[in-house]
């Protein structure tokens, strides 16, 4: 069955043909072209990805075909797959994800692992998450440490609405407030402060590459150096953490030294940095 450049075939359109066509076309904008195609076609057919492998010769209806081609057109703009399907998996939870929120990244699961390791076996802990986005970090902590008491903040009201709906969907009891970092947080002491703040330098060309232009800029960058938000968060933590309390921050692979320096400047101790599955410095934690 011959196909032309825009993937328009003479009917029938099989799953296998459509995946091959979409993968070929998405190579220009995505390093996960095959996966993107599978996720989008599975979404379109309301099936899981294994269905596509099991039934490669199944034909698409013309509605499914139109829908899939519309999704591929949008992916080429490029819009992130998670915005097109409206969801992303994080810590084995399906989270609603919209253009108001950062798309949760797999490497951020490390931040959750580290918090869960720190609080394992301790009595109920008071946890503050700054910049919650979809709520990914707080939801995952609450799911695996249900006794913990979590306050999650964001400056973006639309993001908070998404986070709140994710908490409802997963039956997790978390308090959300709109706040510019600590500004609207009551002066109370927490055992743990955790954040994946915006940490890309405003002039970094990376911001204009791949899917990043589609994500909210305030979720990615907080200023010229990329360390502005980190600085505010660490400085404020002195006031909001109990003695012996921990703060854990995700940061860029090249920011370990700078972040350690800021922790030292504000008198934190027991500072250490964890590396992700690509062996890149990713999370630095410190104790008050
Ligand atoms: C890198 S995203 C992290 C989102 C989510 N925690 C995650 O890991 O997927 C940073 C978040 O910080 C929020 N943010 C940016 N500036 C803020 C500020 N001044 N106060 C509070 N939150 C802020 C953004 O809206 C965004 O949701």
The residue whose CB lies within 8 Å of the most ligand 1 atoms, and thus the one to mutate among 107, 154, 160, is 154
pLDDT given for residue 10 in this prediction: 54
Q: Which domains does the chain have, with CATH numbers?
A: 15-78 (1.10.8.10), 88-287 (3.40.50.150)
pLDDT on residue 4: 44
Counting ligand 1 atoms within 8 A of each CB, the residue from 198, 237, 250 with the most, and so the one to mutate, is 198
Cβ neighbours, 10 Å, residue 237: 24
pTM: 0.94
Distance between CA atoms of 150 and 144, rounded to whole angstroms? 12
CB 173 within 8 A of CB 167: yes
* pLDDT computed for residue 2 by the predictor: 32
Helix ranges (DSSP H) in the chain: 15-26, 33-45, 49-54, 62-75, 81-85, 109-119, 136-144, 157-169, 217-220, 228-240, 256-265
Phi first, then psi: what are they for 60, rounded to 5°? -85, 145
pLDDT at 21: 96
- For 38-66, b/e burial (b = at least 16 CB within 10 A) is bbbbbbbbeeeeebbeeeeebebeeebbe
Query: What percent of the chain is predicted at pLDDT more than 90?
Result: 95
Residue ranges in the chain whose pLDDT is less than 70: 1-12
Pairing of strands 269-275, 281-287: antiparallel
User: Ligand 1 pocket by C-beta < 6 Å: which residues?
Assistant: 102, 104, 108, 130-134, 136-137, 153-156, 159, 179-181, 196-198, 218-219, 222
Are 196 and 163 in contact by the 8 Å Cβ rule? The answer is no
| Residue 3, pLDDT score | 40
Q: Is 228 exposed, middle or buried (0-12, 13-18, 19+ CB in 10 A)?
A: middle
Report helix, strand or coil for 195. strand
Residue closest via CA to ligand 1's atom 2 equals 219
Structure confidence at residue 5 (pLDDT) = 45
Query: Quick one: angle between helices 15-26 and 62-75, nearest 10?
Result: 10
Task: Report how far residue 140's alpha carbon sits from residue 177's, in angstroms, rounded to the nearest whole number.
Answer: 18
Nearest Cα neighbor of 82 from 36, 44, 124 is 36
Q: Whose CA is nearest to atom 6 of ligand 1?
A: 132
Q: What is the pLDDT of residue 131?
A: 98
pLDDT at 11: 53
Instruction: Name the percent of the chain lying above pLDDT 70.
Output: 96
> Does the N-terminal peptide bond of residue 12 adopt cis geometry, omega within 30 degrees of 0?
yes
Q: pLDDT tens digit string along 25-67?
A: 999 999 999 999 999 999 999 999 999 999 999 999 999 999 9
Neighbours of 267 (CB within 10 A): 9
């Amino acid at each position: 069955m011959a196909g032309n450049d825009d993937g328009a075939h003479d009917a029938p359109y099989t799953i296998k043909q459509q995946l091959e066509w979409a993968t070929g076309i998405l190579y220009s904008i995505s390093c996960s072209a095959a996966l993107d195609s599978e996720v989008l076609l599975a979404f379109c057919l309301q099936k899981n990805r294994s269905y596509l492998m099991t039934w490669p010769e199944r034909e698409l209806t013309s509605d499914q075909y139109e829908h899939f081609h519309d999704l591929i057109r949008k992916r080429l703009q490029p819009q992130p797959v998670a915005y097109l399907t409206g969801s992303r998996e994080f810590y084995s939870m399906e989270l609603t994800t919209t253009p108001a929120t950062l798309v949760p990244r797999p490497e951020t699961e490390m931040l959750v692992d580290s918090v869960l390791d720190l609080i394992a076996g301790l009595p109920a802990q008071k946890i503050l998450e700054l910049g919650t986005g979809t709520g990914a970090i707080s939801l995952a902590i609450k799911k695996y440490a249900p006794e913990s008491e979590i306050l999650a903040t964001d400056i973006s009201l639309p993001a908070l609405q998404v986070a709140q709906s994710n908490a409802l969907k997963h039956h997790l009891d978390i308090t959300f407030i709109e706040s510019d970092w600590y500004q609207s947080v009551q002066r109370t002491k927490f055992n743990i402060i955790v954040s994946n703040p915006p940490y890309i330098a405003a002039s970094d060309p990376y911001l204009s590459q791949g899917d990043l232009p589609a994500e909210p800029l305030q979720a990615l960058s907080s200023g010229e150096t990329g360390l502005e938000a980190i600085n505010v968060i660490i400085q404020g933590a002195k006031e909001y953490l109990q003695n012996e309390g921990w703060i854990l921050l995700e940061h860029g692979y090249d920011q370990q030294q700078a972040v350690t320096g800021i922790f030292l400047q504000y008198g934190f101790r027991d500072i250490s940095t964890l590396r992700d599955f690509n062996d890149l410095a990713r999370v630095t934690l410190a104790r008050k």
